Amino acid sequence: MASAVETNPEQNQESIEEDPSNASIDEKKVEEEEEGECGFCLYMKGGGCKDSFIAWENCIKEAEEAKEDIAEKCYQVTAALKTCMEAHPDYYEPILRAEKVAEQEAMKELEKEAELKDKSVEKELVEEPGQEAASEDKRES
């Protein structure tokens, strides 16, 4: 004999799915966090380094608000994030590869700047003795 309290399990499932107030608190929190977040941030939080990325993100925000040197203030959390990403290369490989390319480009730029500076110094050294001779000629006149 069926009890009057018993209900159809299918009806219970439907009412749970239809009622938006039944969404879990965690799901709501995730949705709120995702609103307005950049694709890069969502990607970074999607892998095994979510906590490291959030710590890095918070450090950057704090440094900007306090007008502090970001590189100096966030050195440790940046290093921890990079270490974590290197430990999860299957997920973060595209970011690591892009970072490596950027580092190579930066090194090329630094090398070019160093070459230009060296050439500039060499040019000054070559020109200076001639200028001194011209100055001496003017004094004698």
Using an 8 Å Cβ cutoff, are 72 and 112 in contact? no
Distance CA 132, CA 116 (A): 24
This prediction's pTM: 0.56
Averaged pLDDT for residues 100-124: 89
| Model pLDDT for residues 50-108, shown as the tens digit of each residue | 999 999 999 999 999 999 999 999 999 999 999 999 999 999 999 999 999 999 999 99
Residues in the chain: 141
Q: In 10 A of CB 139, how many CB atoms?
A: 6
Q: Where are the domains of the chain?
A: 46-122
Using an 8 Å Cβ cutoff, are 60 and 69 in contact? no
Rg over alpha carbons for the chain, rounded to the nearest Å, is 31
Distance CA 110, CA 102 (A): 12
